């Protein structure tokens, strides 16, 4: 089973971040520009939260707030569920299911080094299963 480190080596370590004082509109523009569904919220090198498209939908759009003047810190998740690079995709899927989250920042030595989404984990599991199937087909074919 692939580790988070292996997944990041394949997808890349790029993490898009925003500050807590930025507006929700700025966060949405950055997510759209980078084609991502979540941003880490950072103060210098310290993770203080995570803001997602789901946060926007539930905490801005449905509450009739303005994304022009609502700061990210009002809608972000401040108790962020994280993972380490040595965890497996299956372990992360279990955490995501249990905690009902779709993104996990990857922390190593108190630094954010990456971000994995549920899609990244599903793809890693599918890739592993496909590899196993191909190996079994080769074994059977002799």
Rounded Cα gap, residues 113 and 136, in angstroms = 35
Q: Which of 88, 80, 68 is nearest to 42 (CA)?
A: 80
Tokens 């919220």 sit on residue: 41
pLDDT score of 128: 84
Instruction: Please report, in tens digits, the pLDDT of each residue of the chain (142 residues total).
Output: 899 999 999 999 999 999 999 999 999 999 999 999 999 999 999 999 999 999 999 999 888 889 999 999 999 999 999 999 999 999 999 999 999 999 999 999 999 999 999 999 999 999 888 888 888 888 898 7
pLDDT score of 96: 97
What CATH architecture is 4-141? Roll (3.10)
- The CA-based diameter of the chain, rounded to the nearest angstrom, is 66
Question: Given CA atoms 64, 40, 11, 5 in this order, what sign does their dihedral have?
Answer: negative
> Does residue 121 contact residue 89 with C-beta atoms inside 8 Å?
yes
pLDDT score of 133: 86
Rounded Cα gap, residues 142 and 59, in angstroms = 58
Domains of the chain: which residue ranges? 4-141
């Amino acid at each position: 089973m692939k580790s988070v480190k292996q997944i990041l080596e394949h997808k890349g370590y790029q993490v898009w971040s925003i500050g807590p004082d930025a507006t929700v509109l700025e966060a949405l523009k950055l997510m759209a520009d980078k084609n991502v569904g979540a941003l880490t919220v950072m103060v210098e090198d310290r993770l203080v939260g995570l803001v997602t498209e789901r946060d926007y939908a539930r905490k801005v759009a449905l509450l009739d707030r303005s994304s022009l003047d609502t700061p990210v810190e009002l809608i972000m998740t401040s108790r962020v569920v994280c993972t380490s690079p040595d965890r497996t995709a299956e372990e992360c899927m279990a955490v995501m299911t249990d905690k009902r989250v779709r993104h996990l920042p990857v922390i190593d030595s108190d630094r954010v080094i990456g971000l994995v989404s549920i899609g990244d984990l599903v793809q890693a599991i599918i890739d592993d299963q496909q590899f196993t199937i191909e190996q079994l087909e080769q074994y059977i074919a002799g």
